[in-house]
C-alpha cells in the first residue's frame, strides 16, 4: 500500500479519468465506470496514487456531464452505484485513492429542483434555489443585464413568465443560489454520500464562482463582462459580482467540517482559475486543502515562464500551509504535446495560437510533433520532481496530441454550438477523444470498447492513434508510456518518502536552464535540470537517474530534462 498516510494527497500523483472517453466496457461507444474498473491494473502499473473521475452522474451530457441532473447516482449509460462501489473497491485494493467531481455552481436544467422551480413560478421557494430575476422592458422581454456566458451568448435565459435565470455556462446549466440554506445542506449531503461510499477526496468544479453579489446594486449597473472568462482574475474579489468573491471561502470552511467528520479527513482540490496570489486561500487547510495551480497549463515553452510558474506555485503553497499542484493538461485545454509543438510565443498571449490552430482544423500552423514530444518528456521530469501533487490527464502518458480536425458536425462541446453564429470556437473535444488501447483498428475503435460488437466511439478517433495505442507503447522501452512509468517509479521510491516539501534553486538555474534541488530518500540530493536553450548544458557530478533524451557528450541537449542524484 502506498501513500497510506492521512495527508497522502499533499504529494500525490493523480490521474484524471474522463469516464466517457477512457474505456467502454459495455460497447455503447461511451466509456463507463466498469471500464475504469477494467483498467485499474493499467493505472496501478503506471504508478499513480489516485484517480479522479470527471462527472459520471445522471446528466443530459450537454457539457460532458458537468450538467448534473442527480448528484447522488450514476448515469445509467455509465453504470450503476454498484459499479461505482466495485470500482472504488478495486482502486483501493490496488492502493489507489478515489476522487470524485462535485459541480456546485450549477445544476442541469433536468435536475428535479430546476423542474420544480419552473413549475412553481416567480417568488416561490423553489425558484430561490436558483438565480431568477425579472427581465427588463415592459414585459420582461430583455435580459436583466448584459452578462455573457463563459461559453458564449447571454448568461440569462427567459422562462416565459417575465423571469430569466442565470447560467454562467450552457443554457442547460442553471446557476445555484448559494445564499439559500437548502443548497448548502444538499451539497453537504452529497459530500457525505460519496465519502460514505468510499470517495477519498473531491474535485470542486468552478470553485471560485459559487458566491455571487446579485443584489447589492441594480443588476444593470454591473459591467457586461466582469472578467468572468478571465483566466488571470486579479484585484480584490469584492469588486467582482461573480468570480472569486471573498464570501466563497465561508462555503469551504463549512465543507471542511464535513471533511473532518471522516477518518482520515477527506480533502478537496478546487478548480479556481484565479490569480496565483488568490489561490492559497482556497487551499488552506481550514478550507479545501488544495487548489489547482494552472500556471503550467498556461505556459509556453520558455525557461523564464516555467521558473516563474514554479515560484508562484511554491509561494501559494507556503501561504496556504499546504502543498500546491502541477497541471500540464486536463479535459479543458488543448493537449500539451500539441501546445509545445506549435510556434512558441511568450506565455502572456496564453493559448491563442493553440486556439486559433484548432479553429482552423490544424492547417494554419505547422505542428512540429517531434518537438512536442521532446518537450513533453522534458516537462514531465520538471513537473514530477517538484514538491506537491501532480495531476495527469488521461492519454498524456501515451503522448497523445490534440485531435484538431474533428468535423464540426461531430463536435459535442457546447462551446461549438453556443459560438456557432459568431466568432466560432470548436471547443475542447480534441483532447476528449476516446483512448486507443490497441493498435489494431479491426473493429474501428482501437480497442476502446470491450465487446467485439459495439457502437462507434462517441467522438471519432484519427488513424494516427494506432501508433500511440497502449499495446504498442507497452512493448517499447523508448515510448512515452515507458518513460512515464519509469519517472513515476523513481518519484515514488526516492522523492516522496522523505516527506520533505522543500525546494532550493540550483546554482545552474539561470538563463535557459531551470534547475532545482530536492532531498532524496537515500540521503543524496536530487538535481532536476531542464534545458530550454540551444547550447547543451553541463550536468553536476552524480548519478543520472533518468533523462528525457540522450545526453550529448555528457551534456543535456535542448528541450531535455535529467534527474541527477548528487552526493
Instruction: List active site positions.
Output: 205, 261
Q: Which is nearer to ligand NOJ, 206 or 508 (CB)?
A: 206
| By the rule CB under 6 A, 110 interacts with ligand NOJ | no
Q: Which is nearer to ligand NOJ, 19 or 135 (CB)?
A: 19
Residues 27-66 that bind ligand NOJ (CB under 6 A): 63-64, 66
> How, if at all, do strands 201-204 and 267-270 pair?
parallel
| By the rule CB under 6 A, 412 interacts with ligand NOJ | no
Residue 108 CB, shortest distance to ligand NOJ, in Å, is 10
Which residue of 182, 332, 405, 441 would you call a contact of ligand NOJ, by CB under 6 A? 332
| By the rule CB under 6 A, 169 interacts with ligand NOJ | yes
Residue 2 CB, shortest distance to ligand NOJ, in Å, is 27
- The values of phi and psi at residue 449, to 5°, are -100, 140
Q: How many residues bind ligand NOJ (CB under 6 A)?
A: 10
CA distance readout (Å), 456 to 22, 64, 453, 468: 14, 17, 10, 19
Question: Could you tell me if 253 and 272 are in contact, meaning their C-beta atoms sit under 8 angstroms apart?
Answer: no
Q: Which is nearer to ligand NOJ, 228 or 449 (CB)?
A: 228
Which residue of 166, 206, 316, 564 would you call a contact of ligand NOJ, by CB under 6 A? 206
Residues 242-271 that bind ligand NOJ (CB under 6 A): 271
Residues 66-85 that bind ligand NOJ (CB under 6 A): 66
Helix (H) or strand (E) holding 564: strand 560-566
Q: Which residue is nearest to ligand NOJ (CB)?
A: 66
**Contact code string over 495-534 relative to ligand NOJ, x by CB under 6 A:** ----------------------------------------
CB atoms closer than 10 angstroms to residue 520: 20
- Give the separation between CA 284 and CA 276, rounded to whole angstroms: 14
Q: E strands, 9-140, where?
A: 13-17, 50-53, 97-102, 106-108, 132-134
Q: Which is nearer to ligand NOJ, 47 or 427 (CB)?
A: 427
Residue 175 CB, shortest distance to ligand NOJ, in Å, is 10
Helices (H) and strands (E) in the chain, counts: 15, 20
| By the rule CB under 6 A, 292 interacts with ligand NOJ | no
Question: Could you tell me if 177 and 171 are in contact, meaning their C-beta atoms sit under 8 angstroms apart?
Answer: no
Residues 384-403 that bind ligand NOJ (CB under 6 A): none
Residue 414 CB, shortest distance to ligand NOJ, in Å, is 8
> How, if at all, do strands 560-566 and 106-108 pair?
unpaired
Task: Mention every residue, 6+ apart, whose C-beta is less than 8 A from residue 509.
Answer: 307, 515, 516
Residue 31 CB, shortest distance to ligand NOJ, in Å, is 16
CB atoms closer than 10 angstroms to residue 75: 23
| By the rule CB under 6 A, 100 interacts with ligand NOJ | no
Question: Could you tell me if 34 and 42 are in contact, meaning their C-beta atoms sit under 8 angstroms apart?
Answer: no
Question: Could you tell me if 322 and 285 are in contact, meaning their C-beta atoms sit under 8 angstroms apart?
Answer: yes
Question: Could you tell me if 30 and 23 are in contact, meaning their C-beta atoms sit under 8 angstroms apart?
Answer: no
Residue 413 CB, shortest distance to ligand NOJ, in Å, is 8
Which residue of 205, 305, 396, 445 would you call a contact of ligand NOJ, by CB under 6 A? 205
Point out which residues bind ligand NOJ (CB under 6 A).
63-64, 66, 103, 169, 205-206, 271, 331-332
Amino acid at each position: 500500500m502506498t501513500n497510506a498516510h492521512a495527508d497522502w494527497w499533499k504529494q500525490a500523483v493523480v490521474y484524471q479519468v474522463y469516464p466517457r472517453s477512457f474505456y467502454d466496457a459495455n460497447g455503447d461507444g461511451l466509456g463507463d465506470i466498469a471500464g475504469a474498473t477494467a483498467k485499474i491494473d493499467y493505472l496501478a502499473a503506471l504508478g499513480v496514487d489516485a484517480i479522479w473521475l470527471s462527472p459520471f452522474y445522471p446528466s443530459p451530457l450537454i457539457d460532458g456531464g458537468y450538467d448534473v441532473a442527480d448528484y447522488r447516482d450514476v448515469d445509467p449509460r455509465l453504470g450503476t452505484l454498484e459499479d461505482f462501489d466495485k470500482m472504488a473497491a478495486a482502486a483501493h485494493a490496488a492502493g489507489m485513492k478515489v476522487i470524485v467531481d462535485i459541480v456546485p455552481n450549477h445544476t442541469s436544467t433536468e435536475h428535479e429542483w430546476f423542474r420544480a422551480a419552473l413549475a412553481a413560478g416567480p417568488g416561490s421557494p423553489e425558484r430561490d434555489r436558483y438565480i431568477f430575476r425579472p427581465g427588463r422592458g415592459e414585459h420582461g422581454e430583455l435580459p436583466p443585464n448584459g452578462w455573457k456566458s463563459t461559453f458564449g451568448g447571454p448568461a440569462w435565459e427567459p422562462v416565459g413568465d417575465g423571469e430569466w435565470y442565470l447560467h454562467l455556462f450552457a443554457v442547460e446549466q442553471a446557476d445555484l443560489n448559494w445564499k439559500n440554506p437548502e443548497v448548502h445542506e444538499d451539497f453537504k449531503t452529497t459530500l457525505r454520500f460519496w465519502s460514505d461510499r468510499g470517495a477519498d477526496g473531491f474535485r470542486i468544479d468552478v470553485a471560485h464562482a459559487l458566491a455571487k453579489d446579485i443584489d447589492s446594486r441594480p443588476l444593470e449597473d454591473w459591467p457586461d463582462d466582469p472578467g468572468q472568462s478571465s483566466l488571470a482574475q486579479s484585484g480584490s474579489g469584492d469588486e467582482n459580482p461573480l468570480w472569486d468573491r471573498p464570501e466563497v471561502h465561508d462555503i469551504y470552511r463549512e465543507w471542511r467540517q464535513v471533511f473532518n467528520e471522516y477518518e482520515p479527513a477527506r480533502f478537496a482540490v478546487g478548480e479556481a482559475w484565479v490569480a496565483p496570489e488568490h489561490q492559497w486561500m482556497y487551499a488552506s487547510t481550514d478550507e479545501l486543502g488544495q487548489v489547482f495551480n494552472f500556471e503550467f497549463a498556461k505556459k509556453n515553452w520558455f525557461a523564464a515562464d516555467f521558473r516563474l510558474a514554479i515560484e508562484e506555485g511554491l509561494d501559494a503553497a507556503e501561504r496556504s500551509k499546504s502543498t500546491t499542484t502541477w497541471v500540464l493538461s486536463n479535459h479543458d485545454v488543448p493537449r500539451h504535446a500539441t501546445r509545445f509543438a506549435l510556434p512558441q510565443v511568450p506565455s502572456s498571449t496564453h493559448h491563442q495560437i493553440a486556439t486559433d490552430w484548432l479553429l482552423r482544423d490544424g492547417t494554419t500552423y505547422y505542428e512540429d510533433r517531434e518537438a512536442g514530444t521532446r518537450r513533453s518528456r522534458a516537462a514531465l521530469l520538471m513537473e514530477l520532481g517538484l514538491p506537491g501533487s501532480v495531476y495527469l490527464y488521461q492519454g498524456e502518458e501515451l503522448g497523445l496530441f490534440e485531435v484538431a480536425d474533428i468535423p464540426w458536425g461531430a463536435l459535442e462541446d457546447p462551446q461549438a454550438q453556443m459560438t456557432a453564429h459568431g466568432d466560432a470556437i470548436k471547443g475542447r473535444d480534441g483532447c476528449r477523444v476516446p483512448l486507443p488501447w490497441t493498435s489494431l483498428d479491426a473493429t474501428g475503435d482501437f480497442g476502446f470498447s470491450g465487446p467485439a460488437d459495439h457502437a462507434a466511439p462517441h467522438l471519432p478517433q484519427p488513424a494516427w492513434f494506432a501508433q500511440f495505442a497502449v499495446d504498442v507503447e507497452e512493448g517499447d522501452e523508448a515510448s512515452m508510456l515507458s518513460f512515464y512509468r519509469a519517472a513515476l517509479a523513481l518519484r515514488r521510491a526516492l522523492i516522496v518518502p522523505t516527506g520533505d516539501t522543500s525546494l532550493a534553486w540550483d546554482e545552474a538555474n539561470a538563463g535557459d536552464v531551470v534547475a532545482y534541488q530536492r532531498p532524496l530518500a537515500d540521503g543524496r540530493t536530487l538535481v532536476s535540470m531542464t534545458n530550454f536553450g540551444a547550447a547543451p548544458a553541463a550536468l553536476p557530478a552524480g548519478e543520472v537517474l533518468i533523462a528525457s533524451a540522450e545526453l550529448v557528450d555528457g551534456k543535456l541537449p535542448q528541450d531535455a530534462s535529467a534527474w541527477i542524484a548528487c552526493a
